[in-house]
Chain A
């Protein structure tokens, strides 16, 4: 597939501070792509450069084969949903949604029809005549989504649109946005700092860190195969240890298969670790064996997270919640870590 959006050597400085460092990135048509990263990583700035609300210090932006670097935001044909409170407070939902169409000089009946249809798609038909102050946070963001989509823009940008919404509602809105995006088959760029949200929603995640793209991958690949220490810490809940330390707390034989001496860091997810009270009879040759003490257990609903201390080192282990197999604080346990699930940096 051809690239629909292309960032070329994008740099952005705010005074002395380099916020974006030579970003190269392509986005394909019809995809929902996430820019994921901690605050201050430059993800929102990159999005605003695509919208035109911010100018890049250097570099070029292409949309649909055209160089739009110097095109004013109002002429880019891009829709955008902001964090919150971006609805015009003096207009009701219908007027907000109609705003962009009116600006385009479209006939009145046509506007009415398009607005009603879009309000229906986002599920606000009953609130169409209400003002923003009368809507809940979630409803406001639905209206903002309708307002951004009704002009049929080439790209939809979402700048942390769900960050101000409480957890329960956020999950249903994530699914909803994804459904609408697929239904309308629109290209979308979504900015978030929430890795779970990125996992659920995206076709592709671009993990950003310190002004650079750390890794660009499908959600499942990013999860199972992070390519840097940063990716491993930010995605999932990896245990990240210095290899030296890991070797020092290992018990039993050293498994074959992986050469630990050549890497500095080892990372493994908490849910791949086997845990047992007694020493396992015969440990497979490709499994690392550790011995430790339960220092704390944290119920997370369907799974249980144990903090295990192995000497000075803390390791998190996730197990499915099972009433018959609980370990008390202070209990000695053995951990088995399959070598093939470990990632070395």
Chain B
């Protein structure tokens, strides 16, 4: 038994090293002028300064933030409405909603992006707009995560019971849903929304294929500087990873809080 535990420790440590080395190497690379030998030389923050003062970086960061707001809000509202109606009134339809929501999980980015592109690109007006296409595609690509997040939290609060109780206290069913159920699943909605933020932040294929050059996110920015300046791009890389880690940390903290609350109940 003891020996096994030791083996487990060794294995976990090896996997951790595997996962962390690329990050550490990039971090060191971004902080030193010269890393030709074994020991890096010439500590400097020059690379970070040049990224943070680059107006292109600012624009990319802003675009990245802006482009994820609408799809996330839209998808959450749409899925909330759909799941409310389906669970409260038409339980037989739940299966179909689930299938539709899980399809993007298997289709994934490349095919989704080219199929939307080929459908709308020739046309004119609102739906042919690159930003609209991209927004629609983002809604679909985050759909599985939003759907699962909302459905799981609806189950964990025992939604039918809460609806019944609120209705007996004078609410109509839809009122009961927004007044009682939604506030109670808010933390679940926030967690799945943050996961969605992570997905959109990490997207390259949809934005490249659909938006072309109209919208540039951080990934595209990294791709551009990568071809020109490897130190500057390693600093960009570290900044992107920092943002990602921040999002994941918030998700983990919120999740832990949720789970704790459930156990107490």
Contacts and interface: CB of A to CB of B under 8 A. Distances in A.
B171 A103 contact: yes
A98 to B, nearest CB: 10
Interface in A197-237: none
B261 interface: yes
B184 A104 contact: no
Contacts, number: 59
Interface stretch (A27-35, A74-82, A164-172, A293-301): A74-82
A80 B166 CA distance: 10
A74 B165 CA distance: 10
Nearest to A140: B265
Chain B's interface: helix, strand, loop or mixed, by majority? helix
Interface in A173-213: none
B78 interface: no
A236 B264 CA distance: 38
A90 B164 contact: no
Contact of A80 (B162, B165, B171, B184): B165
Nearest to A78: B168
Interface string A49-75: 001010000000000000000001111
Contacts of A103: 169-171
Contacts of A132: 265
Contacts of B172: 72, 74
Nearest to A97: B169
B161 interface: yes
Interface in A89-107: 89-90, 99-100, 103-104
Interface residues of A, number: 27
B157 interface: yes
A6 B102 CA distance: 48
Interface in A136-176: 144, 147-148, 151
B165 A51 contact: no
Given A82-B161, A88-B165, A151 B183 contact: no
Interface residues of B, number: 19
B167 interface: yes
Interface in B88-142: none
B158 interface: yes
Given A90-B183, A132-B265, A133-B265, A73 B161 contact: no
B167 A86 contact: no
A249 B133 CA distance: 87
B168 A79 contact: yes
B199 interface: no
B180 interface: yes
B177 to A, nearest CB: 13
Contact of A88 (B167, B168, B184): B184
Contacts of B170: 74-75, 100, 103-104, 151
A134 interface: yes
A303 interface: no
Nearest to B265: A133
B190 to A, nearest CB: 14
A151 B265 CA distance: 26
Contact of B261 (A74, A87, A133, A148): A133
A72 B169 CA distance: 12
Given A74-B172, A82-B164, 20 more contacts: A72-B172, A73-B167, A74-B168, A74-B169, A75-B170, A80-B165, A80-B168, A82-B165, A85-B161, A85-B265, A86-B164, A87-B165, A88-B165, A89-B261, A89-B265, A90-B184, A100-B169, A104-B170, A132-B265, A144-B165
Interface of B: 157-158, 161-162, 164-172, 180, 183-184, 261, 264-265
Interface of A: 51, 53, 72-75, 78-80, 82, 85-90, 99-100, 103-104, 132-134, 144, 147-148, 151
When A and B form their complex, which 4 residue pairs have the shortest distance between CB atoms, in order from nearest?
A100-B169, A103-B170, A80-B168, A86-B165
